[in-house]
Amino acid sequence: MNVKIQSIKFDADRKLLDYVEKKAAKLERYFDNIVETEVYLKLENSQDMENKVVEFRLKVPGNDLFAQRKGKTFEEATDLCIDVLKGQVKKFKEKLRGA
């Protein structure tokens, strides 16, 4: 699986990029046919503490799965996205089996 990470409005450090890559790779446990993963790390201009936004787009054959979450840290938002995507991947697999 190919993982592309883009940080928008800031430069992400290596530690954060490694963390996101490691979490994205774990999705292959649930579905090994993921073609590509695009991750966008964004900083919002707001006074709110939860101004870190993470977006995941999983490209799977015939479909794209998407999740976006906000958090106080990028790691927290990444974990929330991964939880959502686990459910989406499981549903997608069930749909494939049923078809």
Query: Is the Cβ–Cβ distance between 42 and 53 less than 8 Å?
Result: yes
Q: Which long-range contacts (CB under 8 A, 24 or more apart) does 67-74 make?
A: 70/44, 74/12, 74/16, 74/19, 74/20, 74/41
Per this entry, what is the length of the chain?
A: 99
Is the pTM higher than 0.75? The answer reads yes
Torsions phi, psi for 47 (to 5 deg): -85, -10
H or E stretch covering 55: strand 52-60
DSSP letter at 27 equals G
Report pLDDT digits (tens) over 75-95: 999 999 999 999 999 999 998
Per-residue pLDDT of 29-54, as tens digits, reads 988 889 999 999 999 887 788 899 99
* pLDDT at residue 96 in the model: 86
